[in-house]
Amino acid sequence: MIARLLEGMPRAAAVLLALLFALMAAAPLFAGDYLLTVLILILYFAYVGQAWNIMMGFAGQLSLGHALYVGLGAYTAAALFVHFGIGPWIGLAAAVPLCALVGAFVGFLAFRFRVAGVYFAILTIAVAEFARVGFDHLDWTRGSAGLFLPVAQYARNDLWHLRGHPVMFYYILLSATAIAGLGCRALLRSRVGYFWLAIREDEEAARALGIDTFRYKMVAVVISAAMTAFAGVIYAFYYNNLFPEQVFHISRSIEIILGPIVGGIGTLFGPILGAFVLTGLAEMLTGALAALGIDIPGAKQVFYGICLLAVIVALPEGIWPWLSRRLGLGSDKP
């Protein structure tokens, strides 16, 4: 099955991808605690970046409120755990349909009422902000005081309750990222994928060809939201604390989409590369400033912003389309 999914990929690209996966799978053997934390962050962004990319990169619908689905997923699973002792995997089974439903609701409102482009983007921000302020006042999840998961020292990794060493989270996220990557490729090569690309390139033309654009845009939003819900559940159980001000904040949504845009929007590998580049950059800046003895809050973010500016000015399509041309791997942007 995996062989079929890799079909049609340049041999060099497939080999490099396999090498990367093997390296990542072996990383916990030699990586220290710090590096492991960074890698977990990278995988998290690679995963949610791919989820977002389905909506924007494939179907052309710009969402600026994906923190909504991370937050809803996280709060659903965490609240079920705190209040009823329900484990995260069952919580996931509640979080995914909930996020899919909310995604469908946002999509329905937007697409039925022909809210598109910038307006759609701002609608997604509005819904996420609405949720942020709402959760701030929702007593069941402890409002703005924050929801905390009980933390204790665990002798062994309890995969069922997601309690344990970061290595466990690392492998969960690594598998999720790999599955998401294969899933995205499968989607792109399916009937739905071709419809999405048609909608992204020219919605009017797609409709003229008889594509039910409403339906396929809905499919994109729902899949993207459901995928993001999983990241939210992992987020909740990895960090063990949730504050509406943090999880639903617009800057979380922006973080999610920086990776895919910098990596290469609409490509398969772009979101993953973008997560490596941006998280790596942020950590390197931290290290460099610490080595230079510069301890000014904000200095790191200024350099980060300048790097972001440089990338977007120099490589409008993102890093991966440019890099894969350089490496002779061909374009994976359909």
Binding-site ranges for other proteins (CB under 8 A): 56, 62, 64, 109, 113-115, 117-119, 121-123, 125-127, 129-130, 133-134, 136-137, 144, 250-251, 254, 257-258, 261-262, 265, 296-299, 301-302, 304-306, 308-309, 312-313, 316
Q: How far is the C-alpha of 111 from the C-alpha of 284, rounded, in Å?
A: 42
147 bridge partner residues = 242
Give min distance, CB of 305 to other proteins, in A: 4
CB of 251 to other proteins, least distance (A): 7
Give the shortest CB-246-to-other proteins separation in angstroms: 13
CA distances, 135 to each of 86, 101, 243, 271 (Å): 21, 18, 9, 29
> Smallest distance, Å, CB 184 to other proteins?
18
Sign of CA dihedral 315, 317, 321, 325: negative
Minimum CB distance to other proteins, residue 261 (Å):
5
Residues in the chain, how many? 334
Q: Considering beta carbons, is residue 86 or 104 the nearer one to other proteins? A: 104
Residue number with CB closer to other proteins (23 or 295): 295
CB of 146 to other proteins, least distance (A): 15
Q: Of the two residues 168 and 277, which places its CB atom closer to other proteins in the complex?
A: 277
User: Smallest distance, Å, CB 289 to other proteins?
Assistant: 12
93 vs 116, which CB is nearer to other proteins?
116
Nearer to other proteins, 62 or 211 (CB): 62
* Contact (CB, 8 A) for 47 and 180: yes
CA–CA separation, 148 and 171 (whole Å): 24
Q: Please, which residues bridge with residue 158 across strands?
A: 163
Inter-CA distances, 7 with 2, 4, 77, 180, Å: 9, 5, 37, 17
How many helical (H) and strand (E) elements, i.e. helices and strands, does the chain have? 15, 2
Q: How far is the CB of 177 from other proteins (least distance, A)?
A: 22
C-alpha closest to that of 146 among 250, 245, 234: 245
* Residue 132: burial class (beta carbons within 10 Å; 0-12, 13-18, 19+): buried
Q: How far is the CB of 56 from other proteins (least distance, A)?
A: 7
CB of 106 or CB of 176, closer to other proteins: 106
Q: Write 171-178 long-range contacts (CB < 8 A, 24+).
A: 171/28, 172/234, 173/40, 173/43, 173/44, 173/47, 173/234, 174/24, 174/25, 174/43, 176/43, 176/47, 176/230, 176/231, 176/234, 177/43, 177/46, 177/47, 177/50, 177/272, 178/21
Cβ proximity to other proteins, 35 vs 302, nearer residue: 302
* In 232-317, beta strands by DSSP E: 241-242
Give whichever of 69 and 81 is closer to other proteins, judged by the CB atom: 69
Pick the closer one to other proteins by CB: 24 or 323. Answer: 323
